[in-house]
Structure formats: structure tokens, C-alpha cells
């Protein structure tokens, strides 16, 4: 029975775990509650790797949840549903099929007779602005046109629900804006039968400009942390104060430190802490930008995003890096330099490295652990596999490699350890080893 109160999608306490190669369980999603009501567009915002794409795939019925309930129009979901279509970040078009054939693919699988297939495809192709390109192969099209094919392929199924997995993030700014506006027009004018849209994104402005509700997703484990209603009429003016205020609010929520509720000192991290995907060079650059006018030590986040022209996702990784190293602090949608951060900016190159090393050893358990192991070993060398295996207790293979790579990059900058690519061995820097040996000799004498 479909009662009026039934949501299009209803997720209750959804949990998803993956097994690491060492047979440890890693929780990607925990206790996710979510409803998609008829007639609304919801955006799901989160950092890369927060599990939002996994959640989207659970909603699409592509992967099963480990716990909780997933209901589509009140029915328990057991596989890809007829009424749910998806648009992919990478477009996922079949390169050997023409635009027309790509669009007809789902209809063909659904045994729709040829004549009707062609008619429906032609209709959607016209609607989405692909007219004239029916016979083209995807590789002949620009990125924007390719994603239009992705949308056409989904819309031709006349879906109830449209799931969008960062559909605009592979496109340039101008193209993605046009495509976004076209989608909103189709939706507003009810030219498509779709009753609800879910957009996964890591671009805050994009989310606020499209959605009726924005959900902020937190990572480790992923869950919905906050919700903001965007009560603005469409089309939305991105320059209006009301719009800017909501964007500001979302930035604040996205950067709020959830772990250590007490604030103040950096929270205690574990060995398996997922180091943010950024580099010391970028962090130093951002610190300088914050220190200089117009910010002079304190920056409004959306403004900083505009100034640096960095993607939201890259920016959040930078913020996270600065935060765990104690070089900057975030509060109420602003980022401040800490004392350490200010000292870092003012120091020369060598001084910076020293400060960075100190912060690294204090703040990042993995870096401290690597240093300790290398100190204790007689030859001051250790194979990377040793550390990878330890990380795999907490992380997937791929993620463990990324984290170790990041730790190596940071440690190299700080000159606390070095790495040989050919042999895959971590070691103390040569100068340090020489110093240690000299000390040993002195002691022996």
C-alpha cells in the first residue's frame, strides 16, 4: 500500500561495512537515516571518501546494506529498482554505441518494442538538447555533451527517482552551470516525470543552488550530520545575501570538528587515521594566504574558497591537515591561524621544516610510529610493507596505500624520514644516520 505519507526513499539506520584484506571490518556507513519525499531535490554533501557514493549505490540497489532498512515506496529494496535511474560522474557511456543506441540501452533491456523505443529516445534527445547528435559516438562529443547523453539515458526510463553521482564534477565551471540550469528548468516546468532527485556532490555552491535540502555527511563512519533547508525560490541568485548566508552556514557545518566536542587541543588520533589528501607545500601556501591581507590571520571560508580558486574538496582536505597539525583552527565558518601557524608563516625555510616536523610527530600517530620504528632498527631502515600491513588493519588496500604515501610526502618535507622508491624501503635521512653513528662512536670511545 502506498499511503500519502510514504516517502519515495526511506533509509532507516543503514549500516555498511567492508572487510579489509586482514579480515578486519571497516565501517563505512553507520546509522544513516534519510528520507526522500515526493517533489524534492536533496543534495548530499561530504568530503571525498566519506561514503556518500557508497550510500548512493545502496539507494540504487547496486550494493546491499549490512544493516538497517532501505525502502523504495514502502517496499524493501532487493536490487536495482525499475523506477530509479542513475547518472554517473564518469558518464559511464558505452563507447561503441552511438548516442541513440546509448539512450535506448535501458529500453531495450526492458523489452520495449523498437518503434516505441525510437520515439521515446527521440523525445528525450530533443528535450535534453542533443538533437542532431543521434549518430555520434561518445568520443566525438565534448564532456558536457557526453553528460547530456548520461542524463538522456537516465531520463528516457521515465524514472521516479534520479540519482546523480557528482554528475557535474568532471566538467568545467561554465559547462556544468549550463547543464545544471537546464536540469532545473526541466524539473521546474515538470517536463520530466521524475518525482525526486538526489544529488551527491562535494561542491557547496552547486548543492545550495539546486537543492531544497542539503544534508551534510561526516566521515569515519559516514552518517548524516546536519540538515539545512534552502527555502529560496528558483532561479536562485548566487550573489544574493540570503544565498551567501546559507553557503556560509554549510561551510561552517562542513568544517565543524565533530570528534573532540570540547574543542581546544587536537583530539587523540589513532594509527589508522586517514591523513587528508594534501601536501605540505599546499598547506604552507594556504597559511600564507590567510596571514596576508585581506584576511590578516582570519578568513571567511567561502571567501577563501573564492580567493584560492580551489575546489571545495581540496580545500577541506587542506583545512583538515592544518587542523590536525595544530597550525590553524576553524570556528563559526572562519579559519584562524594558531600561534604555531603564525610562527610557521614568519619562519624561514629551515625553521618551517623544523616546526612541521615537531607538529607531525606530535599530531600524527602514523608519522611518530614510523620514526620510532626506524630509530629502533639497527640499520634504520624498514620495508614499506610492514607499515602497509598495519594500516590494512584499519583501511582498505587502496586507502592504506594512499595514507602511507601521504605520510611519506609529509615526512620527507619535514626531513624526519626518507623513502627509496625502487626498493620500497623507508629509512632515516642520511645526515641523521651519520649523526647517530658519530654519537655511537663517541660513546664507544
CB of 429 vs other proteins, minimal distance in Å? 22
Neighbouring-strand partners of residue 69: 12
Q: Which residue has the cell 537515516?
A: 33
CB of 85 vs other proteins, minimal distance in Å? 7
Residue of the chain from 22, 33, 38, 78 that contacts other proteins (CB under 8 A): 78
Q: Kindly state the cell numbers that stand for 80.
A: 536495482
Binding-site string for other proteins from residue 12 to residue 51, where x marks contact by CB under 8 A and - marks none: ----------------------------------------
> Is there binding between residue 108 and other proteins (CB under 8 A)?
yes
DSSP-derived 3-state class of residue 305? helix
Between CA 219 and CA 320 the distance in angstroms is: 12
CB of 425 vs other proteins, minimal distance in Å? 15
Strands 196-201 and 161-165: parallel
Residue 419 · residue 427 · CB < 8 Å: yes
Closer residue to other proteins in complex, CB, 100/278: 100
Closer residue to other proteins in complex, CB, 23/111: 111
Ranges within 370-429 binding other proteins (CB under 8 A)? 421-422
DSSP-derived 3-state class of residue 72? strand
Closer residue to other proteins in complex, CB, 97/343: 97
Neighbouring-strand partners of residue 330: 335
> Is there binding between residue 85 and other proteins (CB under 8 A)?
yes
Residue of the chain from 24, 73, 244, 402 that contacts other proteins (CB under 8 A): 73
Ranges within 109-168 binding other proteins (CB under 8 A)? 109-111, 137, 139, 153, 157
Residue of the chain from 33, 75, 237, 438 that contacts other proteins (CB under 8 A): 75
Distance from first CA to last CA of the chain, Å, rounded?
89
Sheet bearing 381-383, strands edge to edge: 381-383, 425-427, 418-420
CB of 434 vs other proteins, minimal distance in Å? 28
Neighbouring-strand partners of residue 44: 200, 215
- 138 secondary structure, DSSP code: G
With a CB cutoff of 8 Å and minimum separation 6, the contacts of 11 are: 32, 33, 34, 35, 55, 58, 59, 68, 69, 70, 71
> Is there binding between residue 83 and other proteins (CB under 8 A)?
yes
Closer residue to other proteins in complex, CB, 92/258: 92
- Which residues of the chain form contacts with other proteins (CB under 8 A)? 57, 60-62, 72-73, 75, 77-86, 88-90, 92, 94-96, 105-106, 108-111, 137, 139, 153, 157, 421-422
Amino acid at each position: 500500500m502506498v499511503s500519502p505519507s510514504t516517502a519515495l526513499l526511506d533509509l532507516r539506520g543503514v549500516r555498511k561495512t567492508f572487510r579489509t584484506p586482514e579480515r578486519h571490518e571497516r565501517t563505512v556507513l553507520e546509522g544513516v537515516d534519510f528520507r526522500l519525499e515526493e517533489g524534492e531535490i536533496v543534495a548530499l554533501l561530504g568530503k571525498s571518501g566519506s561514503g556518500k557514493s557508497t550510500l548512493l549505490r545502496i539507494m540504487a540497489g547496486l550494493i546491499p546494506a549490512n544493516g538497517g532498512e532501505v525502502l523504495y515506496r514502502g517496499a524493501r529494496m532487493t536490487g536495482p529498482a525499475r523506477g530509479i535511474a542513475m547518472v554517473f560522474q564518469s558518464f559511464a557511456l558505452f563507447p561503441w554505441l552511438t548516442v541513440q543506441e546509448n539512450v535506448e540501452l535501458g529500453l531495450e533491456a526492458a523489452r520495449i518494442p523498437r518503434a516505441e523505443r525510437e520515439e521515446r529516445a527521440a523525445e528525450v534527445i530533443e528535450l535534453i538538447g542533443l538533437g542532431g547528435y543521434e549518430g555520434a559516438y561518445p568520443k566525438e562529443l565534448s564532456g558536457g555533451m557526453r553528460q547530456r547523453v548520461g542524463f538522456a539515458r537516465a531520463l528516457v526510463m521515465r524514472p521516479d527517482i534520479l540519482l546523480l553521482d557528482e554528475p557535474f564534477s568532471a566538467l568545467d565551471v561554465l559547462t556544468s552551470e549550463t547543464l545544471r540550469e537546464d536540469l532545473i528548468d526541466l524539473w521546474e516546468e515538470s517536463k520530466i516525470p521524475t518525482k525526486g532527485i538526489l544529488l551527491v556532490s562535494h561542491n557547496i555552491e552547486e548543492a545550495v543552488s539546486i537543492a531544497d535540502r542539503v544534508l551534510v555527511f561526516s566521515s569515519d563512519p559516514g552518517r548524516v550530520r546536519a540538515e539545512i533547508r534552502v527555502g529560496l525560490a528558483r532561479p536562485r541568485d548566487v550573489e544574493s545575501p540570503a544565498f551567501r548566508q546559507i553557503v556560509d552556514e554549510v561551510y561552517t557545518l562542513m568544517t565543524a570538528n565533530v570528534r573532540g566536542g570540547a574543542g581546544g587541543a587536537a583530539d587523540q588520533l589513532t594509527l589508522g587515521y586517514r591523513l587528508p589528501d594534501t601536501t605540505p607545500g599546499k598547506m604552507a601556501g594556504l597559511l600564507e594566504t590567510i596571514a596576508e591581507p585581506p584576511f590578516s590571520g582570519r578568513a571567511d571560508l567561502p571567501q577563501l574558497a573564492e580567493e584560492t580558486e580551489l575546489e571545495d574538496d581540496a580545500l577541506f582536505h587542506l583545512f583538515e591537515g592544518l587542523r590536525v597539525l595544530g597550525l590553524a583552527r576553524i570556528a563559526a565558518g572562519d579559519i584562524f591561524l594558531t600561534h604555531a601557524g603564525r610562527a610557521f608563516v614568519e619562519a624561514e625555510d629551515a625553521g618551517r621544516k623544523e616546526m612541521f616536523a615537531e607538529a607531525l610527530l606530535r599530531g600524527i600517530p602514523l608519522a611518530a610510529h614510523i620514526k620510532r620504528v626506524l630509530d629502533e632498527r639497527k640499520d634504520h631502515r624498514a620495508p614499506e610493507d610492514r607499515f602497509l600491513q598495519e594500516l590494512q588493519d584499519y583501511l582498505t588496500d587502496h586507502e592504506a596505500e594512499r595514507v602511507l604515501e601521504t605520510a611519506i610526502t609529509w615526512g620527507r618535507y619535514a626531513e624526519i624520514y626518507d623513502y627509496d622508491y625502487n626498493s620500497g624501503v623507508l629509512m632515516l635521512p642520511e645526515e641523521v644516520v651519520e649523526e647517530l653513528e658519530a654519537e655511537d662512536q663517541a660513546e664507544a670511545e
